[in-house]
Structure 1
């Protein structure tokens, strides 16, 4: 009976994967691939430039307004500022239409 309980206590193999639960392990953050971020931002801006009114539904527009400022953080500062400016300028242009 105690053998069954011992097996149940380690149901997920925690003893074998103790490094997964190491509180002293360094935190690893994901960094976006600048090439993919760059390409995605250029596609969004091109889509906006090609439209007279917002080409996205309200939820998508809200999402893009939220994630574009985060996406540009993975790019060099000068390029990030330029792409953020271009995206916001297109949103304002379409809003005024």
Structure 2
């Protein structure tokens, strides 16, 4: 419905649609390359595996990575996602960093 189009009762909306001028394509969820996600997760996992004591990152980055790793894994196939999450969590436990 546009600003100039009245509703069934003849009323015009007080405020127009914020996204009325955008195409439907612009509103779609962006496509994510699973290969890019996979490489980032593998790099994070490799960093934790290489650490022998404590986190390989500053405390703020460690907390952030604990939050985003499982979320990023959602872009991968289920079996791969679950395996990467398991391995990352196991490494965090090994380093006494698991929440």
Global fold match (TM > 0.5): yes
Q: CA RMSD in A?
A: 2.1
Of structures 1 and 2, the one scoring higher in RCO (CA 8 A, sep 6+) is: 1
Structure 2 Cα separation of the partners of residues 39 and 61 of structure 1: 18
How do 1:1-97 residues align onto structure 2 when only pairs under 5 Å count?
21-22=19-20, 26=24, 27-52=27-52, 53-95=54-96
How far off is 1:69 after superposition?
1.1
Q: Which moved more, 1:30-39 or 1:77-86?
A: 30-39
Structure 2 gaps of 5+ residues are 1-17
Q: CA deviation at 1:91?
A: 0.7
Task: Figure out how many residues of one structure are paired with residues of the other and give that number.
Answer: 77
- Which whole-Å CA distance do the structure 1 matches of 2:30 and 2:71 have between them? 13
User: Can you give the 5+ residue segments of structure 1 that lack an aligned partner in the other structure?
Assistant: 1-19
What's the TM-score once normalised by structure 1's chain length?
Answer: 0.70
- Structure 1 ranges of 4+ moved more than 6 A: none
